[in-house]
Structures are given as C-alpha cells and as structure tokens.
C-alpha cells in the first residue's frame, strides 16, 4: 500500500487534476527561416530544451519540488550584409527549480517555486548573468476532473523586472479522451486521444533575456515569442513515454539592446517606460518543426 500512496501524494502536491506527472521532457526544434525586416537575408533558429522535475515527499501535506531546465538557442542576431557572413550565436539558459508544494484540504493546495537562472552566451559567465525569478500558484479542485489555477510569475531580466498574473484550468472528459490544460497567458494545450495516438494543439508564450558576455560586448538579447503548433503524439509503454511531432508558427524576435537600456516594468504583454533603441533589425516569425520526448509518471489508483 505504501508504494501506491507515495505517487498519489506526489500527484496531489504538484497540484494537477490529471493522473500523471511529467518528470522529464526533451525537445529539439528548428524554424525554416526567419527574415530580417529591411533585408533580403534571414536566419534559422534551432532550439534544444531539457526539463527535469524531481519531487521529494516531506510528509503527508508537503513535498519539495526540485529540478532543472536547460535551453540552447542558435541563430544569427544580425543579417549578412552581402559581403561578410555574420556569426551564429549560442544563447543558453539554465534554471534551477527549488520550491514547496502543500495541501490544505481536498480542495485547496499551493505551489511556490524559486527559479534562479543563468542566461547568457556562456562565454564569460559572471554574476551579471544571474537572474532570480519565481512562481506562486493557488489551486482549487472543483471536482475530480476539473481544477482551477491562480497565480503569478515574476523574474528579474536583463532589461528589468517582468511579472504576469496566471489563470488556468485543467479538464479531462469523462471518457478520458478530451483534455484541456491551460495556464494563461503562458501556455495552453488542447488534445484528443484515440488509442495510442493523441492529436493536439498547443500554445506557448516565451519571454527570456540573455546577457552577451563576449569580450568588449555591452549588449543583451530580449527574446519574445509566441508559438502556435498542432501535434501528433504516440503514447508508448502504456503512456509512460510520449513521442511528439509538432508543426506550427513562431513569432521569434530576438532584439538586441545596450545593457544601459532598461524598461521600468514588464507586465504580461505590456512594457512600461520602454524607450530603448534596438540595435539589430526586427526578426520576423516563421514556421517551425519540433520533436519532443516525454517521460510521464502515471498514477493508477486502486
């Protein structure tokens, strides 16, 4: 009985209405082409992502949330001028997850997670590349197949302070084929499963910054992107391993600014006190293809 109760506790502490926890996710994607405004030239953007979550049960009401998120983006920040080819940059981000998830009763629970990260080109890492963020979520279970989320995400970035409220819900249909998982304005996933195949649509809003540390550089990159994709997923090993192929559109925009250029406040999609001067041409969005592999811990109550 103990082996059953521990996974159930992890499931409850993570605040999910779904009967699973995604412990490991690996993804690789690439845009076909992103053109620069005012130029005939463009670049492709390749992205590698790794996300590990490791919850540790402390007692019947609390669990420690640990893990790590790593990403690497490779692209040109400036278009070729027709004579010289501009170099490709590697932009890295490594984020630690350190938090606590707690249950108050059968309806209410919380998750508080600190998200310190190092984000730059990793050429000359220093304390200037370290940024502190965090997320706080309050979960309300309305019924077995429906849960609401309320929260806030905040982070220090190279351009200043950013924060956004979070509202979302998770719903699973009675036949367990139709699923909705949203945390707006950050992410949304709507899918339908038939047999071993899942068909879905998802959205992910990315906002990150990277310090440029190369010798003599005095710049940072401000990434803002909205990704919309349809996907097909093969559910292997009794839905423990998910292999997913995604095709969609990403509004990638990697803006370069002087480190002295800051904003007063970033709130959701709005920037207050933003009089910065962009140093590179605006990058247009493009179509992308992405492959993901997920290890899912499935909970089977008895």
Query: Would strands 253-258 and 187-194 be described as parallel, antiparallel, or unpaired?
Result: unpaired
Alpha-carbon Rg for the chain, nearest whole angstrom, is 20
pLDDT in tens, the chain (302 residues): 333 344 444 444 444 455 678 899 999 999 999 999 988 888 999 999 999 999 888 998 998 999 999 999 999 999 987 677 788 999 999 999 999 999 899 899 999 999 999 999 999 998 999 999 999 999 999 988 899 999 999 999 999 999 999 999 999 999 999 999 999 999 999 999 999 999 999 999 888 999 998 877 889 999 988 999 999 999 999 889 999 999 999 998 999 999 999 999 988 777 888 899 999 999 999 999 999 999 998 765 44
Phi and psi of 2, rounded to 5°? -60, -40
Q: Where does residue 186 fall: left (phi above 0), alpha (psi -120 to 50 degrees), or beta otherwise?
A: alpha
Query: Would strands 265-267 and 160-172 be described as parallel, antiparallel, or unpaired?
Result: parallel
pTM: 0.90
- The Cα 200–Cα 259 span in angstroms is 40
CA angle 259, 206, 35 (to 5 degrees): 75
- Residues with Cβ within 8 Å of 196's Cβ and at least 6 positions away in sequence, in order, are 234, 235, 236
How many C-beta neighbours within 10 Å does residue 138 have?
17
- The Cα 53–Cα 215 span in angstroms is 35
């Amino acid at each position: 009985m103990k082996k059953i109760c521990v996974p159930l506790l992890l499931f409850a502490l993570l605040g999910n209405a779904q009967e699973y926890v995604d412990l490991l996710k690996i993804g690789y994607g690439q845009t076909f082409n992103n053109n620069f405004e005012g130029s005939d030239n463009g670049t492709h953007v390749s992205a590698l992502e790794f996300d590990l979550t490791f919850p540790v049960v402390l007692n019947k009401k609390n669990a420690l949330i640990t893990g790590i998120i790593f990403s690497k983006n490779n692209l040109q920040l400036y278009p070729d001028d027709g004579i010289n080819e501009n170099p490709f940059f590697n932009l890295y981000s490594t984020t630690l997850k350190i938090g606590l998830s707690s249950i108050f009763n059968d309806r209410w629970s919380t998750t508080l997670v600190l998200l310190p990260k190092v984000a730059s080109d990793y050429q000359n890492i220093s304390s200037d590349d370290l940024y502190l963020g965090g997320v706080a979520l309050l979960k309300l279970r309305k019924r077995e197949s429906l849960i609401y989320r309320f929260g806030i995400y905040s982070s220090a970035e190279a351009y200043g302070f950013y924060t956004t409220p979070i509202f979302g819900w998770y719903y699973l249909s009675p036949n367990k084929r139709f699923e909705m998982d949203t945390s707006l304005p950050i992410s949304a996933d709507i899918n339908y499963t038939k047999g071993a195949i899942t068909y879905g649509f998802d959205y992910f809003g990315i906002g990150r910054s990277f310090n440029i540390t190369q010798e003599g550089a005095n710049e940072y990159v401000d990434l803002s992107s909205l990704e919309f994709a349809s996907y097909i997923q093969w559910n292997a090993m009794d839905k423990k391993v998910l292999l997913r192929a995604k095709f969609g559109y990403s509004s990638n925009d990697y803006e370069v600014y002087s480190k002295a250029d800051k904003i007063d406040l970033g709130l959701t999609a709005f920037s207050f006190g933003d009089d910065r001067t962009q140093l590179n041409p605006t990058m247009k969005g493009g179509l992308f293809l992405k492959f993901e592999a997920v290890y899912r811990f499935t909970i089977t109550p008895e």
